[in-house]
Amino acid sequence: MTVYRASDPEIYHLWHHKTCNSSLSDNQYRDCIKTKALNEGSQLQLGYMLLKDEIKQRRQARERL
């Protein structure tokens, strides 16, 4: 049997909060967090979060000019 994967415009997945149980094994917990991270925001949002201090410093430096 050959399995094909195709997108279907009629399929809709309702967003719901994902909870990662602390009793999971280390590997299961890591995988759960990875899935949660992939579905919680975009790469751009993650970049802004990681670089917010750098962005703030630049903004403050420009305001002093």
Q: pLDDT tens-digit profile of 8-49?
A: 888 777 778 888 998 999 999 999 998 888 887 788 888 999
Domain membership of residue 59 as a residue range? 26-64
Higher pLDDT, 57 or 12: 57
Within-domain flag for 58: yes
Confidence of residue 4 (pLDDT cuts 50, 70, 90): confident
Within-domain flag for 46: yes
Within-domain flag for 6: no
Give the number of domains in the chain.
1
Within-domain flag for 9: no
Higher pLDDT, 5 or 53: 53
Within-domain flag for 45: yes
- H helix count then E strand count, the chain: 3, 0
Largest CA distance in the chain: 68
Within-domain flag for 48: yes
Within-domain flag for 15: no
pLDDT at residue 53 in the model? 93
Within-domain flag for 59: yes
